[in-house]
A and B are shown apart, each in its own frame.
Chain A
Amino acid sequence: MPPAPQARAEPAPPGLPARLLELAEELRAEGVAVGTSELLDAFSALGEVSWAQRPEVKEALAATLAKSSEDRRIFDLVFERFFFRAPEAEALEHDISEQDAELDAGGAQIDLAQLRERIAQAIREGDDAALRDLARLAIAAFGRQGEGSGVIGVDVQRIRRALELRSGDARTREPQAVARGEALELPREALRRFEAHLRRELERDAIERAKRLPPSRPLNELDRALPSGPLQDLAAVHRVVAQLKRRLATQGHSARGRRKHQTVDVRRTMRASLQTGGVPVVLKWRPRRPRRPEIYVLCDVSTSVTSASVFFLSVLHALHDNFRKMRSFVFIERISEVTEIFERERSFKAVSEAIGRDAGVADVSGYTDYGRVWTEFIASVEDDLHPRATVIVLGDARTNGRDPRADVFAQVAEKAGRTFWLNPEPRLYWNYGDSVIAAYERHCRAFECWTTGQLEEFVKALTRTSPGD
């Protein structure tokens, strides 16, 4: 392994180690934790693979630098960007442009149907180089129509549509259909590959036109913050809630140590000691009875939290999957118990429909009335609340100017062992306008929570709470 050059002078030092360090810098800028030990690993891994094989080099770097699926996704993007930009920058420096006269002239004449057929053929034969040339042709043909929008992503889709390329089942793909001029259906993967070529060629064109590299965009716009598809999210919520269950069940045990909490089962220990001549060598413990958490969840479904309510309902749904002793309520102006609906319906869609239909949330004005909610809640569950119960409130604490009745909430919190508040609003907006979360926060722990990531934070925070009950 060659030692990394010490000086990082202005014209970047030549050689691979410097390039790798630059790559690592870019990865770090995107939030991938690349440590020195990872870099050392990367160098030694590179010593083992063959240089000519791009995928091998890439995989070797990925295995040593990206340590989670999320990181891996970022790595793929950064790697592509980095090693695509590097030669481009070089080319600019030496003023080389890739003006292939034949190709560009060809683009002026070729018509779309012909092009479509050739693309299909290239895909069938798995010819990547030909596919790249065809992508250039398509761009040239498309550019002639003068419809370029300047935004690469948009252009890629326009070209695809102009060529009538659709992803479809490999099974239904028939050459005759192409000949008949029907839309060409390609296997999804092949189409994606073609789109990647298009994107890359368009980028190259843009660079050649502008004679400079576009500023490298941070990848942040990728779905890092927002919950994207509700379906895919549901699974994530379920996973986090499954963790929540474990944390609640074993709460405190890990902090105090497992053994200390156990008591010796004298009877079984004596029996076991017969084997060792009456000396109690092996201690038999009374089985630990994990305490079964009892959970009360109150979920705001008013209009002010519409955007978060799908998320809330999926949390509720996942909770119901995991906990037996659980009662859930939804509220707007008044409160309504929906435990039964969740027990009856298993699928998320049915549940949300049922709640919308017959939860009977007495919805007079459509505005949340927290004061009334607390009063009703405590009236309906007062006898059942006990110090082992956990109350979780999902809501934005916006009272619409009504009395927050924090005193009643304090009673609830006092009767329950632990009380948590998950607020879908960013902390910045708390206590702004009619939000009265501060009044409630005195009696419970409030968390900002509207993504699965934050839900995970909440679960983590649960373990950190000192077992105060």
Chain B
Amino acid sequence: MSAQPESVAEISEGLRAVGYLPGQSTALVSYLATRLGKPVLVEGPAGVGKTELAKSLSRYLDRRLVRLQCYEGLDEAKALYEWNYRKQLLRIQSETEEAGWSEVQDDIFSDEFLLPRPLMTAIATEDPVVLLIDEIDKTDQEFEAMLLELLSDFQISIPELGVIEARTQPVVLLTSNNTRELTEALKRRCLYLWLDYPSLEHELQIVKLHTPELSDTVARKLVEIVQMVRDLDLKKPPSIAESIDWARALLLLGADDIDSDLFLETMSIIVKHRTDLDTVAERVGVQLGGLAGATRSASTG
């Protein structure tokens, strides 16, 4: 039997134990999701750990993660279920003359010929799962409408078979990068969680959790720089994942301080646009240079 958290603090601890540092609202909403059995709509900029939250929840609750990556043009054949045409065809071909039409018809529209896709898998399994519907904003509105039945009642209607109801209640997370407004109907069925870039202290903890070997001063400086970079007007601000990558890179390089040279060499890890690179080099690089100069003169003087 999978773990069932009893309090917000417990789920917060649990997520911490599997390597995810939840903010207060994150822990609370995850807790509500497990208790109330309502899907959670997670929105926020790219790279703040929306998908990671689902993965961590699945690790913590000890449930399998079923993931549906959304994209434009995704339809129910790829998301819900599909009839296994080939098998049906073989079945018909191998049928002897005597078998009646209705018998065959009943037969080929049964469980055996159904190919379950992620959504169906999620509700049909014996063990409860964590269902992640990733980047729901990439799909069309029609697809959202199709999800409604699943999200509110945890069931899927198949015209030929009838209604398939969930045997177990999955924890459902929907993520969205906010590239388009989702429909009210979908939002109404979900709990809402807005994940933003973490505060300095919080991010510092996250970085330390992932790279415990990195010295405190470097980690703090790194996070401060990342936060500074985020304040600039960039096409793509650095995400948490990128700060962690950067921390790992610095660890590999054996850096014991971040000066402007090292920053300019490694900043491509956190900044991924040519124009952004110029902006960041100009604004942050100079600042770092000044700081380094100041500390140097302070230490000598």
Whether B55 is near chain A, meaning CB under 8 Å from some CB there, is no
CA distance in complex: A456, B180 (Å): 10
Total interface residues on A, using CB and 8 Å? 47
Nearest residue (CB) in A for B32 is A45
Within 8 A of A (CB), among B22-79: 24-25, 28-29, 31-32, 35-36, 38, 40-41, 43, 72-73
A-B contact count (CB 8 A): 96
Q: How far is the CB of B289 from chain A (nearest CB, A)?
A: 15
Q: Is there contact, CB below 8 Å, between A235 and B43?
A: no
**CB contact under 8 A between A62 and B180, given known A48-B35, A56-B28, A258-B73:** no
CA distance in complex: A231, B188 (Å): 33
Within 8 A of B (CB), among A398-421: none
Whether A118 is near chain B, meaning CB under 8 Å from some CB there, is no
CA distance in complex: A169, B284 (Å): 14
- The interface bits of chain B over 130-158 (1 if a CB of A lies within 8 angstroms of the residue's CB, else 0) are 00000000001010000000000000000
Whether A63 is near chain B, meaning CB under 8 Å from some CB there, is yes
Total interface residues on B, using CB and 8 Å? 42
CA distance in complex: A276, B193 (Å): 48
CA distance in complex: A243, B137 (Å): 11
Most buried by B among A48, A243, A250: A48
B residues in contact with A231, CB < 8 Å:
233
CA distance in complex: A38, B233 (Å): 36
Please choose the segment from A11-19, A64-72, A143-151, A432-440 that sits at the chain B interface, where 4 or more of its residues have CB less than 8 A away.
Answer: A64-72
**CB contact under 8 A between A41 and B187, given known A232-B233, A254-B140, A347-B275:** no
CA distance in complex: A64, B36 (Å): 11
Nearest residue (CB) in B for A48 is B35
Q: How far is the CB of A239 from chain B (nearest CB, A)?
A: 6
**CB contact under 8 A between A171 and B224, given known A63-B28, A69-B43:** yes
Q: How far is the CB of B196 from chain A (nearest CB, A)?
A: 8
Whether B199 is near chain A, meaning CB under 8 Å from some CB there, is yes
Q: How far is the CB of A56 from chain B (nearest CB, A)?
A: 6
Q: Is there contact, CB below 8 Å, between A63 and B25?
A: yes
Whether A263 is near chain B, meaning CB under 8 Å from some CB there, is no
Q: Is there contact, CB below 8 Å, between B233 and A67?
A: no
A residues in contact with B24, CB < 8 Å:
55-56, 59
Within 8 A of B (CB), among A295-331: none
Q: Is there contact, CB below 8 Å, between B85 and A281?
A: yes
B residues in contact with A37, CB < 8 Å:
188
**CB contact under 8 A between A189 and B199, given known A169-B224, A254-B140, A276-B89:** yes
**CB contact under 8 A between A35 and B188, given known A49-B8, A49-B28, A239-B179:** yes
B residues in contact with A354, CB < 8 Å:
none
B residues in contact with A250, CB < 8 Å:
72
Whether B296 is near chain A, meaning CB under 8 Å from some CB there, is no
B residues in contact with A234, CB < 8 Å:
233
Q: Is there contact, CB below 8 Å, between A68 and B275?
A: no
B residues in contact with A72, CB < 8 Å:
192, 194
Cross-chain contact of B36 among A41, A56, A456 (Cβ < 8 A): A41
Q: Is there contact, CB below 8 Å, between B31 and A66?
A: no
Q: Is there contact, CB below 8 Å, between A69 and B72?
A: no
Q: Is there contact, CB below 8 Å, between B36 and A68?
A: no
> Can you name 11 A-B residue pairings with CB atoms under 8 Å?
A56-B8, A68-B181, A69-B178, A169-B224, A170-B224, A242-B179, A243-B180, A279-B89, A281-B86, A346-B274, A346-B275
Residue positions of A touching B, CB distance < 8 A: 33, 35, 37-38, 41, 44-45, 48-50, 55-56, 59-60, 62-64, 66-69, 71-72, 169-171, 187, 189, 231-232, 234-235, 238-239, 242-243, 246, 250, 254, 258, 276, 279, 281-282, 346-347, 456
Beyond known contacts A63-B28, A235-B233, A281-B89: 15 more, CB 8 A cutoff: A41-B36, A45-B32, A45-B36, A48-B36, A49-B8, A63-B29, A64-B192, A67-B41, A67-B187, A67-B188, A69-B194, A189-B199, A246-B72, A258-B73, A346-B275
